Structure 1
Amino acid sequence: MLAMPKSAPRLRFHSPVPAALLRRRLASAVTAAVLTVFGVSTVQAAPAKPAKSSKSAKAGKAAKAAAAAGATAAVASRARAEPADPAAARSGLPATVTTALRRANVPLSSTSFYIVKVGAPQARVSWNAETPMNPASTMKVVTTFAGLQLLGPEYRWQTSLYADSQPTFDGTVNGNVYLRGSGDPKLVPEEMAKLVAKARTAGASTINGDIVLDRSYFGDGLNGGDYTIDGETQRAYNVNPDALLYAFKTLSFTITPDAANRSVGVAVTPALAQLRVDNRLTLANGRCGDWKTRATPSITPQPDGTVVAAFDGNYSADCGEHIVNLATLSHSDFIWGGFVAEWQSAGGRFQHPPGLRSGPVPRGAFLLARHHGQPLSEIVRDINKYSNNVMARQLFLTIGAEIDRNGPASTEKSARVIKRWLTRQGLDMPNLVMENGSGLSREERISAYDMARLLQQAVASNVGPALLDSLPILGVDGTLRNRLTRANAAGNAYLKTGTLADVRALAGYVDALNGDRYVVVAYINHPNASAAQEAHDALMQWVYKGAQ
């Protein structure tokens, strides 16, 4: 056995978990929309009973007159308390929407709407439409439409495996192997297994060297340190982009109580060679309580290079099965551990524990295998249906790198490329601000009018069907699967949603009952935006009924 090079850290690795577990598909992190129903009840006066005498009749008339006067006074009082909103009348919005906004204490001045029938010269509703607004995740519509047109629906990312030398007659690769990535947003274990299988088919069975990561396709400084929009550094949606993103850089722990064996099982995906699970959970009876505290491990790197995910305490059988997603470890450690685990799972061996290095693939390196990821049309579905931020950021950076090949990817380059593309299509947007293309930003801006123009252009384009197919369907799937499930509009609206702490947004298409298709864009930028879902729900139903 050869000694480990001095430059490579000594890392101990463990036998991988069973292959069946390795093949489990990672679920994208999805924020479920919660439907809030606002009921309006009206108390009706009981019908008057027939009069039994003239006295009672007179008394009844007097009572009716008094009741009518009281009702008139009550109406007048309400009118004084709630004066008609001139802006609501000017907006062109239905009363159901403006009333819902008032209930949420959101002023119309903090909203923006644009509703237009596809192909129509004039909008049905245009309110604050040219005001730049924070669009939250509806910005993904701009990124995905640009990607589909500039790269093509069949575009596939490449991940390559090189070596210092060709495999020998006995399958030994003497020297280092090099993983080079191009920003594949969905390089998950199933895809890594295909790359490894190709290398094994090429004759490689034993690696006598270290793993070198070539991440140069993306420029430096994209990780942003520990900065996140909300301070939640271990949340999957806050993972930063990387040319060698593996499994969203997120560990998914499945905690399952087993009443028959009086135990609690813990499974993890993806398998990482250096990861060890220390499960000390004990099954308890009684109410579930705060299951997250017990189901969230402490993850601690060890001096020998291993990483321990420790679970401790009681876990009630009443809690049932739960999944905890944690974005932890560095991009380099994550993909190193994933590759080593997949190599071992496929029967591959290492002459000595492989070290981890970073650097470019040297000239003349031997190509062991190349894997093409899933087509962009499939990636776009994941991005929009489930509002996957890290995948959107990977696509955004790829657009700039592929169209402008002068140097590695950068956010500035991608923003320039997309703005040029928009201008060429007659969609010049001087107020458009794209920071990362995902909408997970306090800086990104677009107007409802510009978003509507883009949606009109998209639906008429050659990639219109692919974009439409990627949008969540109201009451059916994606981020709209739990919205208005029993309403007539369910199944007839295709809209990207967007939510931040002070933003609520919708952008897409609604098919009306009469067969017309409408472009619908609705933005709320206000501290009470989270309470205004009813307004957007009412808008979708109104448009479905023909915007009348």
Structure 2
Amino acid sequence: MSAMPIRPSLLRRSLSPVIATAALLAFGLTGAQAKPVKSVKATKPSVQRVSAEAADPAAARTGLPATVTTALRRAHVPLSAASFYVIKVGAPRPRVSWNAEAPMNPASTMKLVTTFAGLQLLGPDYRWLTSLYADGQPGPDGVINGNVYLRGRGDPKLVPEEMAKLVNTARSTGATAINGDLVLDRSFFADTQDNSYTIDGETQRAYNVNPDALLYAFKTLTFTITPDAAGRAVDVAVTPALAQLRVDNRLTLVNGRCGDWRARANPSITPQSDGTIVAAFDGNYSADCGEHVVNLATLSHSDFIWGGFVAEWQAAGGRFVRPPGLRGGTVPRGAFLLARHYGQPLGEIVRDINKFSNNVMARQLFLTIGAEIDRSGPASTEKSTRVIKRWLSRQGLDMPDLVLENGSGLSREERISAYDMARLLQQALASNVGPVLMDSLPILGVDGTLRNRLTRANAAGNAYLKTGTLQDVRALAGYVDALDGQRYVVVAYINHPNASGAQEAHDALMQWVYKGTP
């Protein structure tokens, strides 16, 4: 096992000021030094050549390159609002450690804690189970007389293709029709929330969807608005199919500049007295707008999965003797098992979570960790927090300042220091699940949330990093493979009202590390 990095604060506490300064200089923590003055003729003014870092007091003080500190100044972000930690993998001391032990809001880089914990505690091959039961076995005519029960255990990616597999398995038992209601068993999670709390009040935004034991298709309707090839009309398609959803498309195709397409392509969602739900589009839509996609998280979890199941059952040729009602409950003892479906393996799920920063999938995993490791009751935030902190402690990664709220980083409360995140990343890389975790990270200039960053820079394709962005927060954490053949762990956090304008500082840091730190 490689030696753990030395905390800069420990150096300062354990050494006298003079010796501590010398030690920090030796560890490369105080920045580059000025080059010696060259001798010149007395008749000419003396010239002292210095590196850019030494010429920049902030760079000299932090050990950061001048390109980073200059970018922070340009964004009006004080150094006190930022933290950085850069260390070569396996090295005993960091190359840069600035404000590294301060607890910071990490935004979506907190997903690294959740996904590493999930991979180690559950295993990359772990699969979520979704089951379908009935009050009784299908009769000779294939009719199920009684209710059917859909029980979920928090599958983050129960999408239409997966629901179709569950339905087809049930149909293979001989079931052709249901004469009863659909009962949803969501008891695996302690609390069910339909966007009752959001970080910004945007209740219909897909990133704000709350977790549920029966999450279906991310509880998000995706409308695709496209002018047809003939130039005569506007087509509107929606996924997933919900049995109770009807699209009322009254859009008129016109010529002219696109303008504010969203104002005309944002549907009104209205429940009807007959139980149906109408998504109405009205107004003019310019052909110049081309195709656009609108995502809305507007229905409850119960209505969403009820509509999804009924639509897939009917698409598979199944019937309902009467319109099925919707109930909540639990599977009764002695119920007949119609189908059992295992979702995609965790090793694939973490790719979606980290590559695309999917919040609700991360929250589903976070709750699942607690429920599966501590089976004393249903999943809860408190249980998952205890399980993950105990797991960290067993690995020597005690983090007293770690604050977990939902494990996704979509939080104003979550906190971790750059130093602790770097320790976690080193431990992850050396673990049995290191390759899986690293494969899940966005690649700079190639894919995921980094696909459009530094695409023409030499560092493109050589950095594997999780990004994070909230109002007042910009974050970056992961690995950079440098030109010198060394791999570095890089963590950078900015918590400041001007954080949104400080991307240049993080870009400069990635390029500096890639070029090889001295």
Whether TM exceeds 0.5 here: the answer is yes
Instruction: Spell out the pairing of 1:67-466 with structure 2 (5 A cutoff).
Output: 86-220=57-191, 222-223=192-193, 226-260=196-230, 262-466=232-436
Runs of 4+ in 1 over 3 A off after TM superposition: 83-88
Structure 2 match to 1:11: none
1:88 touches 1:108 (CA, 8 Å); kept in 2? no
Residues 269, 277 of structure 2: 8 Å contact kept: yes
Alpha-carbon distance in structure 1 between the residues aligned to 2:431 and 2:143: 51
Q: Is the contact between residue 134 and residue 525 of structure 1 (CA under 8 Å) also seen in structure 2?
A: yes
SS of the equivalent of 2:404 reads: coil
User: Separation in 1 of the partners of 2:119 and 2:359?
Assistant: 17
> 8 Å contact 2:58–2:69 — kept in the other structure?
no
Q: CA deviation at 1:231?
A: 1.1
State the match for 2:486 in structure 1: 516
Deviation at 1:90, TM superposition (A): 1.7
Shift of 1:303: 1.2
What's the secondary structure of 1:133's corresponding residue? coil
Mapped to 1, the partners of 2:374 and 2:115 lie a distance apart of 18
Q: Over aligned residues, Cα RMSD in angstroms?
A: 1.4
1:326 shift after superposition: 0.2
SS at match of 1:540: helix
What residue in structure 1 maps to residue 16 of structure 2?
A: none
CA distance in 1, matches of 2:298, 2:168: 27
Whether contact under 8 Å (2:105, 2:416) holds in the other structure is yes
1:253-278 Cα distance to aligned partner (Å, 9 max, x none) = 01010251511110000000000000
When residues 261 and 534 of structure 1 are mapped into structure 2, their CA distance, relative to the original with a 3 A threshold, is closer
Tell me the CA shift for residue 87 of structure 1.
4.3
- Please say if residues 101 and 419 of structure 2, whose CA atoms lie closer than 8 Å, have aligned partners that are also in contact: yes
Q: Deviations over 1:136-172 (max 9, x none)?
A: 0000000000000000000000000000000111111
1-structure distance, mates of 2:382, 2:116? 18
Partner of 2:497: 527
Q: Which has the higher contact order (CA 8 A, sep 6+)?
A: 1
Residue 88 of structure 1: how far off its partner (Å)? 3.2
Quick check: 2:195–2:208 contact (8 Å CA) kept in 1? Answer: no
CA distance in 2, matches of 1:261, 1:546: 54
Which runs of no fewer than 5 residues in structure 1 stay unpaired?
1-67, 73-82
- Contact preservation (8 Å) 1:218, 1:408: yes
Shift of 1:107: 0.6
Q: TM-score, normalised by structure 1?
A: 0.84
The answer as to whether partners of 2:442 and 2:451 remain within 8 angstroms in 1 is: yes
Deviation per CA, 1:156-192, whole angstroms, max 9, x where unpaired? 0000000000011111111000000000000000000
Identify if the C-alpha distance between structure 1 residues 261 and 111 changes in structure 2 by more than 3 Å, giving closer, same or farther.
closer
Give how far 1:227 is off.
Answer: 2.1
**What is the rounded CA distance, in whole Å, between the counterparts of 1:545 and 1:172 in structure 2?**
68
CA shift at 1:547, angstroms?
A: 1.6
- The residue matched to 2:199 in structure 1 has which SS? coil
Task: Output the CA distance in 2 between the equivalents of 1:142 and 1:152.
Answer: 15
Measure, in 1, the Cα distance between the counterparts of 2:406 and 2:390: 17
Which residue identity lines up with residue 215 of structure 2 in the other structure? L
- Check conservation: 2:473, 2:499, Cα contact below 8 A: yes
Instruction: Indicate which of 489, 510, 518 corresponds to 1:540.
Output: 510
Offset from partner CA, 1:99-150 (integer Å, 9 cap, x none): 1111001111100000000000000000001000000000000000000000
Q: Structure 2-normalised TM-score? A: 0.89
Indicate the residue corresponding to 1:492 in structure 2. 462
| Structure 1 position 481 matched with structure 2 position 451 | yes
- Give how far 1:225 is off: 5.4
CA contact (8 A) 2:194 2:300 kept: no
The answer for the alignment partner of 1:19 in structure 2 is: none
Question: How far apart are residue 426 of structure 1 and its match?
Answer: 0.3
Distance 2:232 2:196 in 1: 40
Residue 472 of structure 1 is aligned with which of 437, 442, 458?
442
Instruction: Give 1:306 shift.
Output: 0.4
What amino acid does structure 2 have at the position aligned with 1:215? R
CA distance in 2 between partners of 1:227 and 1:365 (Å):
35
Residues in 1 aligned to 2:55 and 2:89: alpha-carbon distance in whole angstroms: 32
8 Å CA contact retained: 1:255, 1:323? yes
Q: Offset of 1:226 from its aligned partner?
A: 2.6
Contact 1:385 1:478 in 2 (8 A): yes
- Partners of 2:236 and 2:94 in 1: how far apart? 55
Q: How many angstroms does 1:351 deviate by?
A: 0.5
AA aligned to 1:187 is L
| Structure 2 SS opposite 1:234 | coil
Distance 1:85 1:416 in 2: 45
